Structure 1
Amino acid sequence: MEHMSRDELLALPATTSVENAARALGLGRTRAYELARRDRFPCKVIRIGVSYRVVTADLHRLLGVTGAERPSS
């Protein structure tokens, strides 16, 4: 699996899939879902029915990405 680029990370919406967050963190999909199910994912995860969404702001904080780095449109 190819890691997520900085530009891709900055372009994520307010919440993202566990798969996207796993890619940004260099985790495998199976391991990421296992961590999410056990409430051990390193970022805030919101469960909506049977799906999981990762809070992008937490992902940015964990990876050291700040709002000042966001590209202007």
Structure 2
Amino acid sequence: MSMPPRTPLSFTEVFELPVAVDMRTAARALGICTGTAYQLVRRGAFPCPVLRIGGVYRVPTTPLMRVLGIEERPLYAVDLEGDQEPDDGTATSAPYGR
């Protein structure tokens, strides 16, 4: 009996993932079948770290997101108060308008 193909995770679904996911979810995020994911783990070729906890494999979400090319920190719209710039590492030493 064949199973229907699974669709890859959407961008929104990826951001809703917990801290670590099971192998099926990681495989789906990568767009590969679960069997292929397990084969890659056994060969030491899975594209991100895999934790084995008892008999269960877990994949940390942050490294998985990096493999998918997704920036790990979310971007938020920030309301600026007064002459302050957002503290996102791109601020210059002079406030706006000066």
TM-score by length of 2: 0.66
Aligned to 1:68: 74
Taking the aligned partners of 2:75 and 2:22, their CA distance within structure 1 comes to 22
Please list the CA deviations of residues 1-33 of structure 1 after superposition, one character each: whole Å capped at 9, or x if unmatched. 111001111111111011101001111110101
- In the TM superposition, what are the counterparts of 1:1-73 in structure 2 within 5 Å? 1-66=6-71, 67-69=73-75
State the identity %: 43
Higher helix fraction: Structure 1 or Structure 2? 1
Taking the aligned partners of 2:27 and 2:75, their CA distance within structure 1 comes to 21
Higher strand fraction: Structure 1 or Structure 2? 1
Taking the aligned partners of 2:20 and 2:26, their CA distance within structure 1 comes to 10
Consecutive unaligned residues in structure 1, runs of 5 or more: none
Q: 1:36–1:52: 8 Å Cα contact kept in structure 2? A: no
Could you say which structure has the larger radius of gyration? 2
Alignment CA distance shift 1:69-1:41 (3 Å): farther
Larger RCO, structure (CA 8 Å, separation 6 or more) = 1
Taking the aligned partners of 1:64 and 1:47, their CA distance within structure 2 comes to 24
SS at match of 1:68: coil
Residues matched between the structures, number: 70
